[in-house]
Amino acid sequence: MTALLRRQALPLALLLALALVPVLGVQDGFSLGLLARAMILGIAATSLSLLVGGAGLASLGHAAALGIGAYAVATLDLLGITEGAVVFPAAILAAALYALLTGLVSLRTGGVHFIMITLAFGQMVYFATSSLSALGGDDGYTLYGRTEFLGARLLEGRLPFHYLCLGLAAATWLFCSMLLESRFGRVLRAAKEEPMRVRALGLSPYPYRLVAMTIAGALAGLAGALMANAMEFVSPAILSWPRSADLLFMVILGGVGHLHGALLGALALVLAEEVLSHLWDHWRLLFGPLLILAVIFLRGGLAGLPALLAQKLVQTLDRRAR
């Protein structure tokens, strides 16, 4: 238990900090809204991290699953269904189904081809939603109320929504961590690192990867349903390819190979964008080089930063001691 605590100290501290934010007095709608957005994107990024870090599958179409979750909420709203017990499972199932069907085809490829074929499927969904006249097409669809649970408007309050997002982000992280530690996860990781040996053992990575894709899709669908509720608005922008790229960057910036890095990356990107865009109109002139520098110097991503600093500290102390 203590070993687990030490190993997972960083993610636990991160989750604790997020839980303490409202307690420490930050309760205004704007800040909590921003954090909710970051946490929801964090859920989607964590599910993508399961694919990238766990299975070596860099999908550039993950926002499609996110968007399908959000569009499920909008579609049901259009039909007058706002009951959470229906809406959330429907969003999750729809996104999982999408991931399963596209996975059947895209997993035949690998590497860059996988990136491109997932992008292709994502673009198809994007153009399809753009032409959905009933849901506003490109203009999007405004939700006039959030999802309810047995008639109770649980999601309307800022604090309940904050803790719901946090709870689901924590659950997603825990679930994905356990999944990667399980036999299933070990096969998945082995297939990424030593494909030859896995094949030699008579295991085909294909079904494992397919299941991983479906699970990641389902989690992204969950994030999408939350996103629709947070924004009270759904438009094709949520599943455009730059959004997929954003998710991928959150994973990479946070650190591939650390599941909690995805949440960290999501927070970092959302907050950095908010702060920088406030400082300067041409803030991307700063943000672009920052990303480049982060890649060149932060090899383990943000999640690897504490270890890197600790290592540097030890080295310095060592040198002093000598």
Partner 1 sequence: MLRRTVLGAAALPLLGGLARPALAQNAPVKVAFLGTLSGPAASLGNQLRDGWLTGVKHLEGRLGGRPVETLVLDDELKPDVALTKIRAALERDKVDFVVGVVFSNMLQAIFRPVTESETVLITTNAGPSTYAGRGCNPFMFTTAYQNDQPHATMGQVAQEEGYKRVFILVPNYQAGKDAVNGFKSRFKGEVVDEVYVPLNQLDFSAEVARIAALKPDAIFTFMPGGLGVNLVRQYRQAGLANIPFLSTFTVDEATLPAQQDAALGFFTAATWAPDFPGEASQRFVRDFEAAYNYVPGNYAAQSYDAALLIDSALKATGGRTSDKPALRAALEKADFPSLRGRFAFGRNHYPVQDFWLCKVVKRPDGKFATATVRKVLENDTDPYAGECRFRG
Partner 2 sequence: MSGLFLVQLLNGVQLGVLLFLVAAGLTLVFGVMHFINLAHGVQYMLGAYLAASLGIWTGSFWLGLLLALPLSLAAGLLLEFLVFRHLYDRDHLSQVLATFGVILFLDEAVRALWGSAPLPVPQPEGLGSIVLMPGLLYPVYRLVIIGAGLGVGLLLWLLVERTRMGMLVRAGASNAPMVSALGVDIRRLFTIVFGFGAMLAGFGGALAGPVFAVVPRMGDTVLILAFVVIVIGGIGSIRGAFLAALLVGLVDTLGKAMLPDLLRLVLDAAPARQAGAALASMLVYLLMAGILAFRPAGLFGGVRA
Residues forming the site for partner 1 (CB under 8 A)? 28-31, 33-34, 37, 82, 127, 130-131, 133, 136-140, 142, 144-145, 231-233, 235, 237-238, 281
**Nearer Cβ to partner 2 (131/311):** 131
Interacting residue with partner 2 among 93, 110, 305, 308 (CB under 8 A): 110
Out of partner 2, partner 1, none, what residue 52 binds, judged by CB under 5 to 8 A for its kind, is partner 2
Q: Give the one entry of partner 1, partner 2, none that residue 317 binds, where binding means its C-beta sits below a cut-off of 5 to 8 angstroms depending on kind.
A: none
Nearer to partner 1, 238 or 268 (CB): 238
- Choice between 12 and 132, CB closer to partner 2: 132
Task: Report which residue type is found at 254.
Answer: G
How many residues bind partner 2 (CB under 8 A)? The answer is: 43
- Residue 141's beta-bridge partner residues? 234
Q: Pick from partner 1, partner 2, none: which does 290 bind, CB < 5 to 8 A by kind?
A: partner 2
Minimum distance of partner 1 from residue 145's CB (angstroms): 5
117 binds partner 2 (CB under 8 A): yes
Shortest separation between residue 144's beta carbon and partner 1, angstroms: 5
Interacting partner of 42 out of partner 2, partner 1, none (Cβ under 5 to 8 A depending on kind): none
Please say which residue, 124 or 159, places its beta carbon nearer to partner 2.
124
Provide the minimum distance between the beta carbon of 305 and partner 2 in the complex, in angstroms, as a whole number.
15
Rounded to 10°, the helix 158-181/9-23 angle is 170
Residue 245 Cβ vs partner 2, minimum distance, rounded to whole Å: 7
139 binds, among partner 1, partner 2, none (CB under 5 to 8 A by kind): partner 1
The interface partner of residue 145, options being partner 2, partner 1, none and the CB cut-off 5 to 8 Å by kind, is partner 1
Would you tell me how many other CB atoms lie within 10 Å of the CB of residue 285?
Answer: 10
**Other C-beta atoms lying within 10 Å of the C-beta of residue 299:** 10
Q: Interface residues with partner 2 (CB under 8 A)? A: 52, 58, 105-106, 108-113, 116-117, 119-121, 123-124, 127-128, 130-131, 133, 241, 245, 248-249, 251-253, 256, 282-285, 287-292, 294-296
